[in-house]
A and B are shown apart, each in its own frame.
Chain A
Amino acid sequence: MTNSPKALYIHIPFCEHICDYCDFTKLQYFTNYAKKYLVSLKEELDSYHINHELNTIYIGGGTPTSLSDDEFSELLSMLDKYTQGVEEYTVECNPESLSDRKLELMKEHGVNRLSIGVESTHDEILKAINRHHTFRDVKLAISRARKAGFNNINVDLIIGLPHVSKTLFIEDLEEIISLDVEHISCYSLTVHEHTVFGINHVLEPTEDFSRELYDITHERLEKAGFIHYEVSNWAKPNRMSKHNYTYWKDECYYGVGLGASGYIGKYRYTNTKSLVDYYNGKFVKEKEVVDYEDDKIYFLMLNLRTIEGLDLNKYQRMFDENFYKKHQKTLDKYIGESLLIFNKEENRIYASYAGMMVLDSIVVELLSE
């Protein structure tokens, strides 16, 4: 299959503790569950018969590092046969569970990128959202990771947590910049129904406040040498996440594990979130056939999230349709307002920073035509 996915996502749903805002598929860690889980995970992975080279592997969660050292080692060993030729191999970590032993194991198995959930640099805020680390833990974890030889590190930060004023947030940014990492993700808080935040009716930041904080983030991080390359992602040159680009370029990927999603050939699928079903080998829960029209929507909404934007030649090849011609009036309007930018030489349309912030209305307008 020429169109075989070049990216593999592995989901580890366990956590030592559940964060108040988290909407991912997650479960309290128990060693019995985890052992059994790894057996099923291998079974699912094998079922895809992946025998071509992959470009990227990403182990996310939950908290992959919540596994015991033995389980963690077993997981990485299970993936060894897929690492040939992999350019980027990421593992999500919590500062408090990133032990030297785990760092050593990752290095041995070829992991070359770490993503650390920092969320806030203020200890009282971290405590309030049920994170069990301090900012000191973060600094220590990063310095140990550096010592272990990791030179590609991402940290996550949440924009608009309760009780975080503009001043506190600017302090967050300064502290994050001082960590001197290669990649920063900043996400505006989204409150989901079935989370502690949702149950307690915590409010999301208002549209205007969220935008104000994004403006500050955009400005400060660019000044610190980061490229704002996707709505919520900033990277030092050449340090953009290759794995995540798979999603944003509307390319295929395997998704393995509880609640994971994948995109293979013409199908997008989502796995079950029931551990019992998963143990019993009922992996896939929902499957969606992506037809011509669906694919156009996916292609548009995803590509416009990054500064590479929409490759009009590729669009023409894929959909046999001249995108610019079809939407000329609207595109020209947005280009005139500098929300979209047209790169004539490369025949590519991308969103400016201001355009990225209001991408939903732009995309909806284009879809309505």
Chain B
Amino acid sequence: MDFKKEKIRNFSIIAHIDHGKSTLADRILESTGAISSREMKDQILDSMDLERERGITIKLNAVTLSYKGDNGETYIFNLIDTPGHVDFTYEVSRSLAACEGALLVVDATQGVEAQTLANTYLAVDNDLYIMPVINKVDLPSAQPELVKKEIEERIGISCVDSYEVSAKTGQGVHELLEGIIREIPSPEGDENAPLKALIFDSYYDSYRGVVILIRIKDGTVNVGDEIHLMQSGKDYQVTEVGIRTPEEIKTKSLTAGQVGYLCAQIKDIKDVHPGDTVTTKNNGAKEPLPGYRIMNPMVYCGLYPVDSDDYQALKDALEKLSLNDASLQFTAETSQALGFGFRCGFLGLLHMDIIQERLEREYNLDLILTAPSVIYHVHMTDGEIINLDNPSKLPDPSKIAFIEEPYVKASIMTPKEYVGPIMELCQERRGIYLNMEYFDDTRMVLTYELPLSEIVYNFFDKLKSYTKGYASFDYEYSSYHKGDLVKLDVLLNGQIVDALSSIIYRPSGYTRGLGIIRRIKQVIPRQQFEIPIQAAIGGKVIARCDVKAVRKDVLAKCYGGDISRKKKLLEKQKEGKKRMKKVGSVEIPQEAFMSILSIDEEDN
């Protein structure tokens, strides 16, 4: 497939969740004849089961398609999919940087949402040509004209040349494909210049090592070339290059403008960073491509096997998952309460959720997750700075000068009637008000700076319930600020359970402490003895409640017909017991460890 740059179109699709991005991608694949509709599973780009179920794209994918235009010429389309969640914003920006254009998909029945805005700005930042695509126009409630007006007024992108499609029925898709040829610029770049290729994704293959997905900006890469990764500083020899249609087709080389894959016997995915620049070892580029950032995990939690015999299995599973997920970090740790496990770092809460589900589903492990924590910068009196990812390890307060915590800049788009409750929520969560503006006649955008730890504490759920689900929310990491923070310990039966410790804002200590222990009380089943649950700050108990001892659990009637049913019931209880962790003499169900998060102020 040797093609002139003029015949290449590199583009992404950006959209809010559920606005039909993946369906449109499928339709494009189908229309370009890459795959016949019979072979198609729905949403082919989202290949993980989990992605299918959740309807979101987690892992990036790119496909090369050939399309014969109405003018009789054949074009190469490189469609680069982007993940649809705030945890992966950086990956989105890198994949956008590999394109010249983007299809901005907006649901004709929903209009513009916060995420649409955020991703569009990312595309604009990357100088992309943006084609507005109004999707779902086949629905009776579609209002394409209104949505176009909204795009023009709110995002500032002209909709004179917008496209009305139904990804579901295929309506308007042909016109869209012709529009892509006409409107999206063909790639620039000099094939004779030193090699500069942008890494926008990678995955691990047990035969070939890490497979890197790249966009060649300048120059050419050939099989056999010695390459140099400019940010990680590593050198390799290229063993294979090619394109994905989505089946891989090997080629001899990739040249400026093309999107494809590259293998070079790279053993560790952690050496391959999205945003890094590939160049040749000899006569390489002087400057790397702009926009590179190191991705650091933002949220940490402890992962422990319920059955301590599963420790090795959990380790193996984490190692396997991290082969393909450079942003997943883990180190061994021990908890007095939970035994041997791992402290794992994630890009965000969704990332954490996904890893947990994959471990439980694909590796069949029963896990206990401790409540997620952010990284605190603990400044000691002797000037040392500790990056703390595990609340229970907070040093003696007398040796701490001050603690800093990470903040995010959050934009919340909401129908205007909910502005009051949202402001109240943000205030409650120690938000710093930045801005508020009208988005259109009915909606407003609120901008706050919020401690990340407050978002980790059921912020999404709260926001949803405060706004009946109408608000949408987006955030980016901003900076660290000093905070009046203390460690809250939970004691069960008089013993501190390290895995239940959290770092909290001192003035809300009592409310939060009470909230946590009440929640724990609800999930710990009655046992043979009374269990006091206490919340303590600095060794001083601030709140207490008790789980009463079991007083009667026996089934009243047990005659002929009840016997088999009763046995099933007992066996079910036995299974439930297996999933509990014994700490001292107290049996604690998994939910207890997450209950730190789900405290509800109304409970108090």
Contact = CB atoms under 8 A, between A and B. Distances in A.
Contacts of A361: 527-528, 550, 553
Contacts of B553: 207, 357-361
Nearest to A250: B563
A305 B562 CA distance: 13
B552 A358 contact: yes
A203 interface: no
A169 interface: no
Contacts of A24: 561
A30 interface: no
A297 B551 CA distance: 23
A159 B554 CA distance: 14
Contacts of B554: 231, 305, 356-360
A278 B558 CA distance: 25
A367 B574 contact: yes
B551 A298 contact: no
Interface string B562-576: 011011001101100
A297 B565 CA distance: 12
B563 A261 contact: yes
B577 interface: yes
B567 A298 contact: yes
Contacts of B559: 244, 247
Contact of A305 (B548, B558, B561, B567): B558
B567 A247 contact: no
Contacts of B139: none
Nearest to A305: B558
A24 B559 CA distance: 11
A337 interface: yes
Contacts of B570: 297, 301, 360, 363-364, 367
Contacts of B578: 368
A133 interface: no
Given A208-B551, A247-B563, A259-B561, A231 B574 contact: no
Contact of B567 (A211, A297, A356, A357): A297
A253 B574 contact: no
B567 A187 contact: no
Interface residues of A, number: 45
Contacts, number: 100
Interface residues of B, number: 26
A49 B26 CA distance: 67
Interface in B538-557: 548, 550-557
B526 interface: yes
A156 B557 CA distance: 12
B560 interface: yes
A232 B562 CA distance: 14
Contacts of A263: 560, 563
Contacts of A337: 528
A268 interface: yes
Nearest to B551: A211
Contacts of B566: 301
B104 to A, nearest CB: 50
Contact of A358 (B550, B574, B577): B550
Contact of A207 (B552, B567, B571, B573): B552
A273 B553 CA distance: 29
A42 to B, nearest CB: 20
Nearest to B585: A333
A298 B571 CA distance: 11
B575 to A, nearest CB: 9
A159 B573 CA distance: 25
Interface in B410-458: none
A5 to B, nearest CB: 11
Contacts of A360: 553-555, 570, 573
A9 B566 CA distance: 19
Nearest to B527: A361
Contacts of A260: 560-561
A69 interface: no
B554 to A, nearest CB: 4
Contacts of B557: 187, 190, 232
B422 to A, nearest CB: 36
Given A231-B558, A301-B570, A337-B528, A288 B552 contact: no
Nearest to B559: A247
A184 B315 CA distance: 59
Interface string A239-263: 0000010011000010100011111
B564 A368 contact: no
B424 to A, nearest CB: 35
B577 A247 contact: no
A270 interface: yes
Contact of A255 (B526, B551, B560, B571): B560
27 contacts: A159-B556, A190-B556, A207-B526, A208-B548, A208-B551, A211-B551, A211-B552, A231-B558, A244-B559, A255-B560, A263-B563, A270-B561, A288-B564, A294-B567, A298-B567, A302-B563, A305-B554, A337-B528, A339-B528, A356-B554, A357-B552, A358-B528, A358-B554, A360-B553, A361-B527, A365-B577, A367-B574
Interface of B: 526-528, 548, 550-561, 563-564, 566-567, 570-571, 573-574, 577-578
Given A231-B556, A302-B558, A358-B528, 7 more contacts: A190-B555, A207-B551, A231-B554, A358-B550, A360-B573, A363-B570, A364-B574
Q: Which 4 A-B pairs have the closest CB atoms?
A: A211-B551, A211-B552, A360-B553, A187-B556
